[in-house]
Amino acid sequence: MKYILDGKAMKDADRYTIEETGMPSLVLMERAALKTLEVMEQEELDLSNVLIVCGSGNNGGDGFAVARLLLQRGKTVTVVLAGNPDHCTEETKTQRKIFENCGGITMREIPKGDYTAIVDALFGIGLSREVSGHYAQILKKLNSMSGKKVAVDIPSGVSAASGEILGTAFRADMTVTFAYQKAGMVLYPGASFAGKVFVADIGIYLNEQVCGQRYVTYEKEDIERFRPKRKPDSNKGTYGKILMITGSSGMSGASYLSAKAAYRTGAGLVQIFTSEANRIILQSTLPEAIVSVYTDETDAALLLKEKLEWADIICLGCGIGTSETARKITDTVFGYLSEQPKNCVVDADGLNLIASMEEEKKERYLRGAGKCLIFTPHVKELSRLLSKTVEETKKNRISLAQQYSENYNIVLAAKDARTVVTGKGLFPYLNMSGNAAMAKAGSGDVLAGIITGLLALGMDRYEAASLGVCIHGFAGDAARETYGEHGVMAEDIIEMAASLSGEVNWKGTKQR
Ligand SMILES: NC(=O)C1=CN([C@@H]2O[C@H](COP(=O)(O)OP(=O)(O)OC[C@H]3O[C@@H](n4cnc5c(N)ncnc54)[C@H](O)[C@@H]3O)[C@@H](O)[C@H]2O)[C@@H](O)CC1
Ligand SMILES: [K+]
C-alpha cells in the first residue's frame, strides 16, 4: 500500500520534515539531486552534453544541484535560469552559488545545440497557475528538441493535484519524483507527460495530520496481503449467498460474466435472477450457478422479494436494461435495502434506473440504503447520478465522488482510466493498474462480479471495492500480456484475476 499526494499535501510533508523534525532543506535538496542523477545513470542516459533548465523556485534549486554533480563528474552541462534571479528562493540562490563556485556558468537563454539529455527543473509542485509567455515558449522549445527528457519531481506545467495541463507542459521520458507519487502524474493527461516514473526516497515523511489530498493505492503484492484467506474448515455457506440480479432478454452475457467473476473471486454460492430467456444458456455455460427466472407473465418484483430474503449479498444491474420490468426490479431492491440493509453492488442500468427515479423516492432510498451500497459508475453513469454534465463530472470526478460518498455514505468506485474509490471519512483509493485493452464490453460486469465476490469473502465495502478495482486492473494487465493490446476479452480478465488472487501463479501451477 502506498500514498499518492497532491501538491498541497506534499508541501505539507516538506514543511513537516524541515520545520518540525529539523531536517535542513538543503540536505533534502542534495538528496533529491543525487537520486535524480542516480536514476539517469541507472537508465543509461547519455550524459555527455546535458541541458538543465531551472526556475527560481526550489525545483530550480534541484536543477542547479544536479548540474553541479554532473560538472563534478566531468560532464558538459549547460544551465539556463529561466526564472527571475531576484525571485530565487534562498536554497536556489545557494545552489546556484555552489554550482558557479565549481566552475559552472548560468545562462539566461537556451543556446542552440544538440543535447544528449534535457532536464526540466522549471516548476515543481509549486506551480500555481497557467504557464504562459516566456515559460510556455521554453517548454515548447524543450519538447521540440532531441535528447532524453527528464523531469525533476513533476513535469513542469502538469498540475500536481489533478493531472491537468496548465497551458503547456514538459513531455518527459522519465520523471524522478521525490518521496511520494503526485496525483498529477498518475491521473490523465498528466500521466502521459510523466513517462516512466521513479519514486525516490529522500527522507521526507508524512505528518499524520497532513493537509491537502492524500490517496491510497495498492500494488500487486497487496492483493495477497489484503485478500481474506479461505478457512480450512469452511463450506460453501461460509462465503455468503450471493444474489445477482442481472441480464435481460438478449443480455445473458452480463449475467454470465458477473456471476463467473464472483465465483472465481471466491464466492461460495451464486444465484442469478434473470429473464426466462437466459435460463438455458446460463445453466449450460455456468452450471455452478442457481438460475431463477421471471417471465413476462410473472410478477418479477414479487418473486424477487423471496430471493432478497435468501441472499446475504446482492449485485444489481449488469445488463438488466431499462425496461419497465427492470424499473420495478430496481424499485423493489432499493425498497427492500432501505428497510433491510444488505451489502449490494449496483452497476450499469441499476445506476441509470436509480438516477432516473423521482427525486423524493430516490433521496429516501439513497438515505435508507446508502450504508450498504457500492456504486460502480463510469463517468456517464456518474453524471446521471449527480445530475451534471459529462464534462463537469469528468473534470471534477474525484471531488464529486467524495461529496457523494460523504452525503449518502455510499462507497463509489468512479470508473475511468484511473478509477477512484471513495467512502465516507476515508482517503480515496486511486487505482494504478489496468490498461486500454480492458476498454471492452463486459469488463464492467467482471468488475462488479469481483467486488461482489470480495464482499462474500467478508471484506468491508470500501476494501472490497478498492481491492476489486486493483485486482481487475492487474488482471487486465496480465491479459494484455497474453492476448495483446486489442485481443483481450472480458472473460480473460476473470481467468487472470483468479490466478492473480493467489490460487495459481502466472504459469498456472499451484503456488501453495
Ligand atoms: N526543501 C524543499 O522544500 C524541497 C523542495 N524540493 C523541490 O522543490 C520543489 C518545490 O519548490 P517550490 O515550492 O519553491 O516551487 P517550484 O520550484 O515548483 O516553483 C514555484 C515558483 O514558481 C512560480 N510559479 C508558479 N507557477 C508559475 C507559472 N505558471 N508561471 C510562472 N511562475 C510560476 C511561483 O511563484 C514560485 O516562485 C519540489 O517540486 C521539488 O522539486 C526538493 O528539493 C526537495 C526539498
Ligand atoms: K519540473
List, in sequence order, every residue forming a beta bridge with 411; answer none if it has no partner.
374
pLDDT reported for residue 504: 37
Residues 73, 117 share a domain: yes
Same domain, 341 and 210: no
As annotated, the binding site for AMP includes 415-419, 444
For residue 207, how far is its CA from the centre of ligand 2 (angstroms)?
24
**pLDDT exceeds 50 at position 498:** yes
The domain total for the chain is 2
Per-position b or e across 37-46, b if 16+ CB within 10 A of its CB: bebbeeeebe
My answer on whether 350 and 392 are in the same domain is yes
Together in a domain, 183 and 317? no
Per-residue pLDDT reduced to its tens digit, 124-174: 999 999 999 999 999 999 999 999 999 999 999 999 999 999 999 999 999
φ/ψ (deg, to 5) at 219? -105, 175
State the Cα–Cα distance between residues 472 and 191, nearest whole angstrom: 20
ipTM of predicted assembly, 2 dp: 0.98
For position 482, which CATH number holds?
Answer: 3.40.1190.20
One-character DSSP codes across 426-472: SPPEE-----GGG-STTHHHHHHHHHHHHHHTT--HHHHHHHHHHHH
Specify whether 270 is located in the same domain as 202. no
For residue 289, the CA-to-ligand 2 centroid distance in Å is 54
Classify 465 in phi/psi space as left (phi over 0), alpha (psi -120 to 50) or beta: alpha
Domain presence at residue 225: no
Which atom of ligand 1 lies closest to the CA of 89?
A: 14
CA dihedral 254, 415, 475, 266 (to 10 degrees): -60
The residue nearest atom 1 of ligand 1, judged by CA position, is 25
Place of cell 528562493: 89
- Judgement on whether residues 209 and 245 belong to the same structural domain of the protein: no
Q: For 329-348, what is the mean pLDDT?
A: 97
Q: CA-to-CA distance for 422 and 405, rounded, in angstroms? A: 6
Of the three residues 217, 248, 283, the one that is the final residue of a domain is: 217
Q: Which of 217, 249, 266 is the last residue of a domain?
A: 217
Q: Roughly how many angstroms between the first and final C-alpha of the chain, as a whole number?
A: 24
Domain assignment present for 408:
yes
Residues 187 and 302 in one domain: no
Residue to substitute in 19, 31, 128 for testing ligand 1 pocket (most ligand atoms within 8 angstroms of CB): 128
Provide mean pLDDT across the span 404-411: 98
pLDDT at 107 over 60: yes
Residues with Cβ within 8 Å of 21's Cβ and at least 6 positions away in sequence, in order, are: 205
Q: Is residue 223 part of a domain?
A: no
As given in the structure block, the three cell numbers for residue 157 are: 506545467
Q: Is residue 18 part of a domain?
A: yes
Q: Are strands 2-5 and 214-217 parallel, antiparallel or unpaired?
A: antiparallel
Q: How far is the CA of 55 from the centre of ligand 2 (A)?
A: 9
507 pLDDT more than 50: no
Considering only 179-193, 299-313, 474-488, which range has the smallest mean pLDDT?
A: 299-313
Split at pLDDT 50, 70, 90, the class of 501 is low
Residue located via cell numbers 486489442: 486
Helix H or strand E segment including 346: strand 344-346
Smallest CA separation from ligand 1 atom 27, residue: 127
Q: Are residues 157 and 297 in the same domain?
A: no
CA 14 to chain CA mean position, Å: 24
**Across the strands, what pairs with 148?**
117
Cα separation, 347 vs 359, in Å, equals: 20
What CATH number is associated with residue 34? Answer: 3.40.50.10260
Contact assessment for residue 410 and residue 370, using Cβ atoms and an 8 Å cutoff: yes
Q: Residue 291: pLDDT band by 50, 70, 90 thresholds?
A: very high
Residue of minimum CA distance from atom 21 in ligand 1: 57
Q: In terms of domains, do 81 and 206 share one?
A: yes
Question: Angle between the 490-500 and 252-265 helix axes, to the nearest 10 degrees?
Answer: 10
Q: Residue whose CA is closest, atom 37 of ligand 1?
A: 57
Judgement on whether residues 283 and 208 belong to the same structural domain of the protein? no
For residue 507, being part of any structural domain is answered with no
Domain stops at, among 217, 249, 280? 217
In this structure, the answer to whether residues 93 and 205 fall within a common structural domain is yes
In a domain, 511, yes or no: no
What's the rounded Cα separation, in Å, for the pair 386 and 360? 15
Residues 342 and 432 in one domain: yes
Sign of CA dihedral 14, 15, 19, 25: positive
Pocket of ligand 1 from Cβ distances under 6 Å: 14, 18, 25, 28-29, 32, 55-62, 87, 89, 123-131, 135, 152-153, 178
* Residue partners of 407: CB distance under 8 A and separation at least 6: none
Residue 436 structural domain: 236-500
Q: Is residue 230 part of a domain?
A: no
> How big is the CA angle at 453 (ends 447 and 458), to the nearest 5 degrees?
130
Q: For residue 83, tell me if it sits in a domain.
A: yes
User: Which one of the ligands is nearest to 138 CA?
Assistant: 1
